[in-house]
Amino acid sequence: MSAPALAANRRRHVALRWIPPQIRRRLRAARPVAEAGQALVIVLGMVGMLTAGVAALAQNAVEHQTLIAADTLQHESFQALQAGINEYLSAANTNPDFIICKASNETSGFCANALQFNTWTPVPGVSPTDGPPAWFWLGNPSIDFATGTVSLTVVGASGYPHNYSFEQGSMALSAKNDFLLNVLWINYDQVDPVVVQQAYGLSSPPTCYLYWASSTNPSKAANTLGPSGDNQCIPVEFVTGDTLNGNVWVKDAIFVCGSPTFQAVHTMDPYLPSGKFTVPTPGCDSNTPTITDPAASTAGTATPNETIPATNASLVNVAQADGCLFQGPTEITLNGTTMTVTSPDTPTGGAGFSGNDGLNTAGNPNQCMPTASNPTPSLPANGVIYVQNCPATDTSCTFNPMANLGEAGSTGPSFGDAIVQGTLTGPLTIATQNNVIIDGNLCYTSTNGCTQAPGSTLSGGSPNTDMLGLVAQNFVELNHPVHLVCDYQYGQCDNPTYQDMAVCGQAGASPAPACDLASPTIDAVTLAMNHSFLVTNYSLGCPLGTLTVDGTLDMQWRGPVGALYNPDNPNCTSSTESGYLKNYQYDSRLQYLSPPYYLDPGTPSWGLGAVTMSQTLTCKLSGCTNP
């Protein structure tokens, strides 16, 4: 800048000092047009930067919220998957036969009013305040008849229309009820002390212990044949000709006299020599059983302990609500899906659906007592029949069809006995407060009159669900009546012997239960909770052939079905044995089926084997649609 210009500029600044401040401020506010445009650009740029920042923050918040929502839905769908697994497992353990239910039969029988298949089911207990809605979807179960495992696909879903999350898993179930995995289950391999008391006329039952007969080890001194070693506690033996096809579980020693055949045996006897699973019966040196699967057999501590339930009383409420409840001795003949019932001490005129069943609750839909218009009622909807004792205050109970026929344990017209025979279609459990007496063949429709073993499936491939459970609080008995024969001399009975009664159905035979059974067959699962499965009068009469059981025999004390006896009986031709030989066959369907509401030994009937998560949503691929 030239000297004159500098001087002029200096003069201008000097002049401004003498201008009043308020005027000076106005002069300063005036700017050239170019400077004002530059300021506007700067301001707009700053606003743009702020706007972009806010937008970025907003976008980040939305994306974060979306991630949170997606994570929530995924979590909820996984919870729904777990809910579906739990609901199915609960239904299967409430009624183990539920595993045969699927979309095609979910509205009939015991499948009705339970879970549905191939459809979305809201997760129980989830409300809008709990979060997004959730559902589970159950595929049709698949049964592996070879292994007894059950598998099905379960899908969980959660979310809202156009925004669902899915989780899929494949669950596998395996049977856990050990009673149903053995053809024979016994705590004590000895005659029931109550039976010994009756047979020997003792004032009280002997006190018997687990009889470890394998060793002379002093530590087993307390485990003797009764407190005084007086033979009042009697071991029961397996003999030549006995065949048991299936697992045998015995807490006690397994007594053998001869060469019976076992498939696999499990005993808790701690004194067995290595490689041995049985012991000779005291007084018999022959112990040569055939064990077809010794690798699957166990002894001592390798055999897990199991316990029997204390009571079947829980079945009373089940029968009263949706089954059939009777009292006093009750005769039941099964006719496929119906039954012929004689139970004169069961009160009628109750508030049930039929107006004829005095013990059932008002909402029970079953007719259980026969009427003139319906003499053979249908089997109950839930498949449970219970026979209870007459009340102690009821002195009018007089029906006693087992009088003088040799029934074991408590007998008489006031006791809750079920006397059963016939052919069954479908699943059924008959439980009693006292005894179950079998007075004729018990067959499944699917076994063609007991001429073949139960098969896994029926013609057409559908599962065979014919399954009978006999659950007695005391004894399960195969009826074998005998009558006394005497040579009367001077009005007195001389040389008394016992003869078998005529075989049921033959000429001259009395109606059951006052007739005998030759080579009977029992298709059933039996459980004698406090006592035994046995043949009444097992040590009397002549050989009656072979007893065939297709199912299981579970009991507290070993019940004899035959015995060696005095060969001087003139009524028998050649054999010195009475009663039956044994042919026990395991019903392999018991790996995945059981009688309705069958009691278990403290463990669930079904256990969750595994859950395999799947990345491929086959439910969606197969067209299950959105919830």
User: 3-state secondary structure string, 55-106?
Assistant: HHHHHHHHHHHHHHHHHHHHHHHHHHHHHHHHHHHHHHHHCHHHHHCCCCCC
pLDDT digits (tens, 9 = 90+) for 244-303: 999 999 999 899 999 999 999 999 988 888 888 998 888 888 999 999 999 999 999 999
Highest mean pLDDT (candidates 186-190, 305-309, 457-461, 594-598):
186-190
Q: What is the mean pLDDT of residues 577-591?
A: 89
Higher pLDDT residue, 249 or 91? Answer: 249
| Sheet with strand 255-257: strands edge to edge | 237-239, 255-257, 279-280
- Of 173, 174, 168, nearest in space to 82 by CA: 168
Q: 138: pLDDT confidence band, cut at 50, 70 and 90?
A: very high
Contacts of residue 57, Cβ cutoff 8 Å, sequence gap at least 6: none
Tens of pLDDT, residue by residue over 149-200, are: 889 999 999 988 888 889 999 999 887 777 788 999 999 998 999 998 888 8
The tokens describing 514, both together, are 């006052």
Q: Round the average pLDDT of the chain to a whole number and report it.
A: 81
Identify the pLDDT of residue 438.
98
The average pLDDT across 470-492 equals 89
Higher pLDDT pick, 480 / 490 = 480
Report, as an integer, the average pLDDT of 19-41.
48
Which two three-digit tokens encode residue 456?
């896994």
In terms of pTM, does the model score above 0.85?
A: no
pLDDT score for 244: 94
Burial class (CB in 10 A: 0-12, 13-18, 19+), 264: buried
What percentage of the chain exceeds 70 in pLDDT? 78
Q: Averaged over 329-335, what is the pLDDT?
A: 98
End-to-end CA distance of the chain: 85
> Residue 600 has what pLDDT?
60
Predicted confidence (pLDDT) at residue 22 exceeds the cutoff of 50: no
Query: Token pair for residue 521?
Result: 């067959």
Q: How confident is the model at residue 23 (pLDDT cuts 50, 70, 90)?
A: very low
Cα–Cα distance list, 592 to 144, 177, 228, 462 (Å): 9, 10, 46, 14
Q: What is the pLDDT of residue 260?
A: 96
Residue-wise pLDDT for 48-62, tens only, equals 555 555 444 444 444
Whether the link from the prior residue into 260 is cis, omega within 30° of 0, is: no
Secondary structure string (H, E, C) spanning 342-388: ECCCCCCCCCCCCCCCCCCCCCCCCCCCCCCCCCCCECCCCCEEEEE
For residue 352, the model assigns a pLDDT of: 52
- The string of DSSP codes covering 467-525 is EEEEEESS-EEE---EEEEEEEETTEEEEEEEEEPPBTTSTTPPSTTSSB-SS-EEEEE
Q: Mean per-residue pLDDT for 113-131?
A: 81
Whole-angstrom distance, CA of residue 5 vs CA of residue 13: 13
Q: How many helices (H) and strands (E) does the chain have?
A: 6, 30
- 432 pLDDT band, cuts 50/70/90, is very high
CA distance 621 to 382: 36
Position 477 pLDDT exceeds 70 = yes
Unique residue bearing structure tokens 């040799």: 406
Average pLDDT of 3-13?
Answer: 46
Is it the case that residue 17 has pLDDT exceeding 50? no
Give the list of residues 6+ apart from residue 537 with CB closer than 8 angstroms, or none. Answer: 406, 480, 481, 482, 498
Predicted confidence (pLDDT) per residue in 210-222, tens digit: 865 544 444 444 4
Within 8 A by CB and 6+ apart from 225, the residues are: 208, 211, 231, 232, 233, 234, 235, 282
Residue 503 main-chain phi, psi, to 5 deg:
-70, 135
Query: What average pLDDT does this structure show over 400-416?
Result: 94
Chain CA centroid to CA 352, Å: 28
